[in-house]
Structure 1
């Protein structure tokens, strides 16, 4: 049964009454956005192996890097508008327009006649996917109940590998075609995910935190009830969540916590939240997965596997393995914690990079005399590396920044994190094929070195956010919670009794004051 729900925007919503059904739709929204990025990375992996693609554009290492990195050029500019769009237009409309722009880029990429057209198309595609991805990360973190947030938002990036697996399978299937459709068909199919997201948007509500911020208090309460208790407005958990949101956003406005970018940098607490939150983007980018995400063929060449069909098959197996690892990592982040999961992953990545570098050096010194066990060992560690990367960085990329940053800086902070990720990616995706071609195994050693620095920064500065609502995380940074209701999980578990009548009276007072403003 669907119920029309006020959204405060031009984009209407007919929301299921069942919280379970609604949560399922939110997860699908997360999945289809995630799959777009994964599909793109794996598709380019496959295309960079296909002679029909490389010969059509007459690619060399520099133009290969440009074709691949151009999506990050668009991704570089997308964050400049995504935060503002999500705050002003609403979370859902921002997702909608991002998906529309992505579809335009997909169509142009499919029809590309030369490198210039292909690059422009991928810039548009990257721009749109960043707008929808950032808005989606903010939206899902603000809409999912805290008990499911790790899974709901973690899947926003986990299903990167589902998209990657689909792309790997499609490029493997079209790889034998003797026409440009060997690469055009995979390009065209990329649009299916954005289209799916557009179809789902009218079936999910607007962010309750965005609604409260815009003054739509009762409407926000309805959304909280829909996402937590099958629409029951008097459920104690609903009242606790709603009261926390109202009190915290009211405090932010009264304390002038809604700040410009310059004011954020001047405010010690906001600056700390921004820097810790945005670090997930560049940390995940420089970890080393850029090599296997976009240049698996070149990476396998350094290990002695040069047959294009074998490389395409390896691409498929790699994505199955990574999908399993990131789902396991999401479970760890939910049960064990965000910071411990990140520390585990980073330690394993450092170990793998130095092993890969060492084995690749042995192969490079004597490729003709290299044993099969050496080659297979190198490939095995490459696969382990990608799986270890997926354990933490895949789910935490969108989950952690949204949790660390409060409402006033969340959208722009998420945008800044993605901006820094794409700034690093534009450089690394362009440089990596040139670096691998010129210094080979040394690239792994260099990457391992800066990963050690990242490990130290996470250990010293990251905070743990597990088990708290977005408003309760304020206590870590501000030193206090800005609402007088008990923590939501205590209410949900029955450890603390919530005085429903007293909370109702407090909310009535807030509503009356709002009407007088």
Structure 2
């Protein structure tokens, strides 16, 4: 049964009473958003293999890089304003407008008549995807119950591979068509994910943190109850979650913390949280996956797999493998911890890159005499590499930054992470085909070397956030939690008790006081 809920914005909501149903809808919102980006990468992988696409635009190495990398121009510009939009308009409206802009970019890309139009369309597409992705990461981290947050927010990037798999299948199916629809139809289908996201949005509530910060206290309590206790506002867990949120946001306001982007740089603690929280963006980008994510054809060429049909089939298998690994990685992040999962993944990536570089060198030295075992061994390690990347960086990219950053810098901080990711991606996606063409196997060796530095930085500076609410993570950086109630998981497991009657009375007084201020 649906219940109309106040959202504090122009965008209303009709929310199910069941916490489980709400979580499924939140998960669906997460999935369809991530599928857009995954679809884009895999689609361009497929299109770069199709003669109907490369011949239509008369592409060379430079224009291939421009067509592919142009999405990151928009993805670089989007974070410049997405944090401000997310804080001012609300989390759900920001996701809505980002999805609308993405749809516009998809339509223009499908109708592209030349390289210039294709590039402009992809800039718009990247801009919209950046806004909805950042708003979605903040929204889901603030709305999911802490016990499900790793899965709920991790899926925001995991379904990258579902979108990628769909795109790989579609481009495989249209690859034999003798018309421009061989690449236009895959492009058009990309908009289905943003459309699905827009359909889901009216049935999920606004972020309780955003509502509390905007002084919609009663509405925030209702959302805490909806997402934790089937709408029961007297439930101890719901009351504890709400009390933590209100106390922490009240503390931030009393400390003079604002929603300005400059808040990220004001204090040593804020700067530390920003540096740690934004690191998954650039770390994941330069780990080495860009080669296979956008230039699988060139990578397979270096291993001796040159047939276009075989490359398209490899693209399909690769995405199935990566999806399985990302789901396994989400489980590890939830059970084992974020930092440990990232370290495991990074060490495995380093090993794979040096092996790939060595095998590719052996093939390059004697391509005519290379054995089948050498060729397929190289491809196998390439696939292992992409899977190992997916274990950590796929779920952690949007899961870890919002956890590390407190409310006043969360949206802008995640935007900085995305800004850094797309800034690096804009450069790396453009230079990778040139690098592979000029120095071949040495690119893998260079990439493996800087991954060693990334592993050291994770080991030294990252903190563990597993098992804590967003407010309880404050204790890691501030030295204390800014609320007197016990930790939520202690209450949930029955290891700590709260006086629900007294707490509810206190909260009712706070709500009444706020209403009197407004009048």
Confirm or deny a common fold (TM above 0.5): yes
SS at match of 2:32: helix
1:397 paired residue number: 397
SS at match of 1:414: helix
CA drift of 1:77 comes to 0.3
Task: Give the Cα separation in 2 of the matches to 1:84 and 1:484.
Answer: 31
Task: Give the Cα separation in 2 of the matches to 1:266 and 1:469.
Answer: 24
1:505 paired residue number: 505
Task: Give the Cα separation in 2 of the matches to 1:259 and 1:86.
Answer: 11
The runs of at least 4 consecutive aligned structure 1 residues that moved more than 6 Å come to none
**Residue 425 (structure 2) pairs with residue 425 (structure 1):** yes
CA drift of 1:263 comes to 4.4
Structure 2 contact 263–409 (Cα < 8 Å) conserved: no
**Cα offsets for 1:292-312 (capped at 9, x unmatched):** 000000000000000000000
**Residue 159 (structure 2) pairs with residue 126 (structure 1):** no
**Cα offsets for 1:215-241 (capped at 9, x unmatched):** 000011000100001000000000000
Structure 2 contact 264–413 (Cα < 8 Å) conserved: no
Task: Give the Cα separation in 2 of the matches to 1:514 and 1:419.
Answer: 37
Task: Give the Cα separation in 2 of the matches to 1:220 and 1:371.
Answer: 64
CA drift of 1:186 comes to 0.1
**Residue 252 (structure 2) pairs with residue 249 (structure 1):** no
Query: What are the within-5 Å matches in structure 2 for residues 208-219 of structure 1?
Result: 208-219=208-219
**Residue 105 (structure 2) pairs with residue 136 (structure 1):** no
Task: Give the Cα separation in 1 of the matches to 2:263 and 2:338.
Answer: 28
1:117 paired residue number: 117
The answer for unaligned runs of 5 or more in structure 1 is: none
CA drift of 1:498 comes to 1.4
Task: Give the Cα separation in 2 of the matches to 1:505 and 1:5.
Answer: 22
Task: Give the Cα separation in 1 of the matches to 2:313 and 2:105.
Answer: 28
1:484 paired residue number: 484
Task: Give the Cα separation in 1 of the matches to 2:450 and 2:260.
Answer: 32
The answer for unaligned runs of 5 or more in structure 2 is: none
1:296 paired residue number: 296
CA drift of 1:261 comes to 3.5
Structure 2 contact 47–183 (Cα < 8 Å) conserved: yes
1:269 paired residue number: 269
**Cα offsets for 1:327-359 (capped at 9, x unmatched):** 000000000000000000000000000000000
**Cα offsets for 1:112-164 (capped at 9, x unmatched):** 00000000000000000000000000000000000000000000000000000
Task: Give the Cα separation in 2 of the matches to 1:283 and 1:40.
Answer: 21
1:378 paired residue number: 378
Computed over aligned residues only, the root mean square deviation of the Cα atoms, in angstroms, reads 0.8
Q: TM-score, normalised by structure 2?
A: 0.99
**Cα offsets for 1:403-427 (capped at 9, x unmatched):** 0000000000000100000000000
Task: Give the Cα separation in 1 of the matches to 2:109 and 2:503.
Answer: 55
CA drift of 1:256 comes to 1.2
**Residue 184 (structure 2) pairs with residue 191 (structure 1):** no
2:70 paired residue number: 70
Task: Give the Cα separation in 2 of the matches to 1:94 and 1:504.
Answer: 32
1:166 paired residue number: 166
Task: Give the Cα separation in 1 of the matches to 2:401 and 2:13.
Answer: 27
Task: Give the Cα separation in 2 of the matches to 1:180 and 1:489.
Answer: 55
1:345 paired residue number: 345
1:514 paired residue number: 514
CA drift of 1:501 comes to 1.9
SS at match of 1:256: coil
Task: Give the Cα separation in 1 of the matches to 2:460 and 2:404.
Answer: 15
CA drift of 1:503 comes to 1.5
Number of residue-to-residue matches in the alignment: 517
Q: TM-score, normalised by structure 1?
A: 0.99
Task: Give the Cα separation in 1 of the matches to 2:444 and 2:312.
Answer: 22
Task: Give the Cα separation in 2 of the matches to 1:115 and 1:141.
Answer: 38
Task: Give the Cα separation in 1 of the matches to 2:178 and 2:339.
Answer: 49
2:413 paired residue number: 413
2:60 paired residue number: 60
CA drift of 1:507 comes to 1.9
